[in-house]
Structure 1
Amino acid sequence: MEGDLNAKLLETNSEEEESLGRKIWTETKKLWIVAGPGIFTRFSTFGVTVISQAFIGHIGSTELAAFALVSTVLVRFANGILLGMASALETLCGQSFGAKQYHMLGVYLQRSWIVELVCTFVLLPIFIFTAPLLRLLGQEAEIASVAGTISLWFIPIIFSYIFSFTLQMYLQAQSKNIIIAYLAALTLSLHIFLSWLMAVKLEWGIPGVMLSMILASWIPIIGQMGFVIWGGCPDTWTGFSMLAFKDLCPVIKLSLSSGVMLCLELWYNTVLVLLTGHMKYAEVAIDALSICLNINGWEMMISVGFLAAASVRVSNELGRGSAKAAKFSVIIVTATSLAIGFVLFIMFLLFRGKISYIFTESEEVSLAVADLSPLLAISILLNSVQPVLSGVAVGAGWQSVVAYVNLTCYYLIGIPIGAILGYAVGFGVKGIWIGMLLGTAIQTLVLMYITWRTDWNKQVANALARVNKWSVPASNDRNGSQPTV
């Protein structure tokens, strides 16, 4: 393996002769090839949820609060597990593609489908028994009842995540995610029309909006699957393979580490919503907070796009054996995301609560949103850096380390401080949010330190060791596979 590493390092010596300006331009182009479609896709995908919430918000405040609880608590819970476990595929595909072991990407994709499918069946009872679970957690009976109905509609959407997350990571590792962006744009337009048709024109209410969401979740998957199977990825898709059922243990182990890492991060805001549900005037507080989190989520789609770009660029360069290129990618993607985040930070400070009227007609809720806007702006600024560093961790395969960082910063620092400020000190929702922002800030600083102190030559060696250990020869893949579809 040492000879292989030296050969790969020699391949990149010529890169040192490039001027700094040319390096920045080259890396920026590579970055946006992944980040551009990724940001647009996530805007469109997240837009499906936001548009659904907007339509449901105009049905009634109880319905809005119920949808907010399901989407920001239960769906985020499931999303965190499935997306987190799927991010293992991001590491494996990215490093294998960089190492030019293209045939392994399709095998890893199928292994991830198996792991994700089993995990989804384990999550089903949460959506079936939502109403009693929320009542047990102290939520108002009327809101819990409506949430129980909405959660049943979300079950087909949760199953769509199995293929949605994994196909996105498989395609973006090859910088072929432009097809995902086209399908996302088509789906978003279709969802707006169908939501209006079924919820407003036909007056089907919540069932109409949720039926449109289900279609919006599965249509892109059908398109992506067709693209992969019928010739879009000839080098990396060699057909359905029996190798998908072999050597699952390493994939499961990395998937669990990835799942814990991302779950601890995504569930952080869920705790914020749950704590808010126990406050006086909970309905207004939850509505205002959910609007802020949705706005924050819109902006975070930009950062998540850069997270994907950071993961792909770092994993590709580590797999290729270029430590300097991997380090340089980290610098460029972080600086770019931070610059965009700072512009949005200023914009949201200026607009404050005016944007809330997209989601609600309530003056009371709008005023509550305006009061939370400074905290929203700070969250946006932090989100421009923190997810990018998480993407670096995924690309390098540090998921288990970051899981410990998230646990400490979020759950041992952020939430306790937020609970004290919110309840004991009496700051309410603002106090809870301030505490949780402190946890995020500390986590960001820790990840910056870890990234800064990283020995990237050692990371190259680790990546090549992982790729060589878990891969099989291309001939074995063909022999162990079913006929190509």
Structure 2
Amino acid sequence: MSEDIKQQLLIKVGDKRNEYDQENHLGKKIWNESRKMWVIAAPAIFTRFTTFGTNVITQAFVGHIGAIELAAYSLILTVLLRFGNSILLGMASGLETLCGQAYGAKQYHMLGIYLQRSWIILTISTTVILPLFIFASPILRALGQDEDIAKEAGKIALWLIPVVYSYILSLTCQMFLQSQSKNMIIAYLAVVSLSIHVFLSWLLTVKYNYGIPGAMISMILAFWIPNVGQLLFIFNGGCQETWKGFSSLAFKDLIPIMRLSLASGAMICLELWYYTILILLTGTLKNAEIAIDALSICININGWEMMISLGFLAAASVRVANELGSGSANAAKFSVWVTVLTSLGIGFVLFIFFMFFRERLAYIFTTSKDVAIAVGYLSPLLAFSILLNSVQPVLSGVAVGAGWQSSVAYVNVGCYYLIGVPIGVILGYVFNLQVKGVWIGMLIGTLMQTIVLVVMTLRTDWNKQVLDAQQRVNKWFVQSDETCSQSN
């Protein structure tokens, strides 16, 4: 970056800082930032609840078809679909950085170009992982799964290929709209989709008894209906400033954006796969059946709560990216602390709730006293997990908004896989603490990662982050086709 451009950016940063500092007193700043945060967080939380609910509803109806079908669906959902979703979610999060910062910098037409580039990159990525779904049966048999379950899982995996491809549009369009604080449309579409899914699941699996094909058809429609609605909204005037139509510019600068997407994918995948390892380790312990049942209940509760945390992750990434792109370093820093403290407050309330109710919560999911006692035994760990989840994902959102994905990926490897997993194995197996020991080790890894992210955030030079963001958006800036035609 030349010295002239750098000087101009420094002046812009200074102007923005003075403008922000003189704008309002502290109470008004907190109110304004909270309002902006909730505009993003509330629809994001609701949408994630409905998406999570879609899988749960399908699982419930599949459970009425047969035990083998339920085991096969659960296996595919836990292993393959979560694997594919985490890769695509991670890679799509690079779009959050680019769109959020470009929108803050008022380079509005670039959002549409970034969206199209992300479609290209995610389509390629999805096609690369497609063989896992096509050859699911032999892969699962090679991993030692039951023959009948592996065979049924292979059939279900083929049905889920359209669902995996639906992630390309759903994830990218959500991030495109979130960066502009226009994600209420996503929540509305989620309500419509979930309602249709419940009705069709009942109609096709219960009334007409179509079995797995009926359940899968309903699930496919549940994921594609919101995509159609989002595309109609974007293409028909809902985003006039940011969507200027399809452009050949989408094929420009794909390699550097692919690098950012891969760094984002590594960061997110390392986090989402962490608790999958917890379940796999638990399956090899003594009394594994009760341990897995109890742990599944805890992970299920943790999963629902995680939807709240992911909503705040989205809010943090968008707010930080928008403010950095606009050149307001102090506003970016302030948005971090408002979002973190809000999420932490909600997490603390849930922490007290789960510490108080303990095993009584288990009877919502089971009638087994042994499983309920095991859940009560694990409840303190669940409560601490929820408390950490109220901070750690928000800081990950800050990393996405600022473009730190590569650095955080290394942090995740060190804290999760070099510290958390080995400690969990030692406590669970060597010290014979069983599932509690494994979970304590995983929590230590999460705590270490949270501490590192807190230190990184506290030591951040936000003025430098503004310069980095401005450099990033200017580096990949291209004139719109409309501007080019006008200049000619």
2:483 & 2:37 partners in 1: Cα distance? Answer: 31
Letter in 2 for 1:16: D
Give the counterpart of 1:3 among 2, 5, 8: 8
* Preserved CA contact (<8 Å) 1:96 1:467: yes
1:371 is displaced (CA, Å) by 3.9
Alignment of 1:107-256 (within 5 A): 107-256=113-262
Identical counterparts, % of pairs? 65
Tell me whether 1:81 sits opposite 2:87 in the alignment. Answer: yes
2:207 & 2:430 partners in 1: Cα distance? Answer: 48
The superposition leaves residues 76-122 of structure 1 with CA deviations (integer Å, 9 ceiling, x where unpaired) of 21111101110010000000000000000000000000000000011
Tell me whether 1:273 sits opposite 2:279 in the alignment. Answer: yes
1:289 & 1:97 partners in 2: Cα distance? Answer: 42
Give the counterpart of 1:469 among 455, 472, 475: 475
Tell me whether 1:455 sits opposite 2:458 in the alignment. Answer: no
User: Scaled by the length of structure 1, what TM-score is found?
Assistant: 0.93
Alignment of 1:293-332 (within 5 A): 293-332=299-338
* Preserved CA contact (<8 Å) 2:37 2:339: yes
Could you say if the C-alpha distance between residues 68 and 350 of structure 1 is closer, same or farther in structure 2, counting changes exceeding 3 Å?
Answer: farther
Is the deviation greater in 28-37 or in 360-369?
360-369
The superposition leaves residues 331-378 of structure 1 with CA deviations (integer Å, 9 ceiling, x where unpaired) of 000000000011112222334355556656666655544443332222
Counterpart of 2:18? 13
Could you say if the C-alpha distance between residues 131 and 433 of structure 1 is closer, same or farther in structure 2, counting changes exceeding 3 Å?
Answer: farther
Alignment of 1:348-363 (within 5 A): 348-356=354-362
Could you say if the C-alpha distance between residues 449 and 125 of structure 1 is closer, same or farther in structure 2, counting changes exceeding 3 Å?
Answer: same
Task: Classify the secondary structure of the residue corresponding to 2:273.
Answer: helix
Is the deviation greater in 91-100 or in 411-420?
411-420
1:140 & 1:433 partners in 2: Cα distance? Answer: 27
Q: How many residues align?
A: 480
1:151 & 1:276 partners in 2: Cα distance? Answer: 25
1:225 & 1:396 partners in 2: Cα distance? Answer: 27
Letter in 1 for 2:140: L
1:447 & 1:131 partners in 2: Cα distance? Answer: 40
Task: Classify the secondary structure of the residue corresponding to 2:246.
Answer: coil
- Report the aligned-residue RMSD: 2.2
Give the counterpart of 1:437 among 432, 440, 443: 443
Give the counterpart of 1:409 among 415, 418, 433: 415
1:268 is displaced (CA, Å) by 0.7
* Preserved CA contact (<8 Å) 2:358 2:376: yes
Structure 1 segments unaligned to the other structure (5+ residues)? 481-485
Letter in 1 for 2:467: A
Tell me whether 1:383 sits opposite 2:389 in the alignment. Answer: yes
Structure 2 segments unaligned to the other structure (5+ residues)? none
1:427 is displaced (CA, Å) by 2.9
1:431 & 1:138 partners in 2: Cα distance? Answer: 26
1:62 & 1:203 partners in 2: Cα distance? Answer: 16
Could you say if the C-alpha distance between residues 116 and 34 of structure 1 is closer, same or farther in structure 2, counting changes exceeding 3 Å?
Answer: same
1:452 is displaced (CA, Å) by 0.6
Give the counterpart of 1:37 among 35, 43, 49: 43
2:139 & 2:425 partners in 1: Cα distance? Answer: 22
Letter in 2 for 1:234: Q
The superposition leaves residues 397-418 of structure 1 with CA deviations (integer Å, 9 ceiling, x where unpaired) of 0000000000111111111222
Task: Classify the secondary structure of the residue corresponding to 1:454.
Answer: coil
Letter in 1 for 2:421: I
* Preserved CA contact (<8 Å) 2:20 2:330: no
Task: Classify the secondary structure of the residue corresponding to 1:293.
Answer: helix
Letter in 2 for 1:84: G
Counterpart of 1:398? 404
Is the deviation greater in 1-10 or in 80-89?
1-10
The superposition leaves residues 117-163 of structure 1 with CA deviations (integer Å, 9 ceiling, x where unpaired) of 00001111112222332333344444444433332222111111001
1:183 is displaced (CA, Å) by 0.4
Could you say if the C-alpha distance between residues 346 and 210 of structure 1 is closer, same or farther in structure 2, counting changes exceeding 3 Å?
Answer: farther
2:119 & 2:205 partners in 1: Cα distance? Answer: 34
The superposition leaves residues 264-293 of structure 1 with CA deviations (integer Å, 9 ceiling, x where unpaired) of 111111222222333456555444433322
Could you say if the C-alpha distance between residues 126 and 364 of structure 1 is closer, same or farther in structure 2, counting changes exceeding 3 Å?
Answer: farther
* Preserved CA contact (<8 Å) 1:341 1:380: yes
* Preserved CA contact (<8 Å) 1:345 1:378: yes
Could you say if the C-alpha distance between residues 153 and 283 of structure 1 is closer, same or farther in structure 2, counting changes exceeding 3 Å?
Answer: farther
Counterpart of 1:483? none
Is the deviation greater in 295-304 or in 396-405?
295-304
* Preserved CA contact (<8 Å) 2:94 2:264: yes
Tell me whether 1:427 sits opposite 2:433 in the alignment. Answer: yes
The superposition leaves residues 149-208 of structure 1 with CA deviations (integer Å, 9 ceiling, x where unpaired) of 332222111111001100000000000000000001111222222222333333344433
* Preserved CA contact (<8 Å) 1:105 1:170: yes
Counterpart of 2:73? 67
* Preserved CA contact (<8 Å) 2:286 2:434: no
Give every structure 1 segment of 4 or more consecutive aligned residues whose post-TM-superposition deviation is greater than 6 Å.
none
2:76 & 2:363 partners in 1: Cα distance? Answer: 21
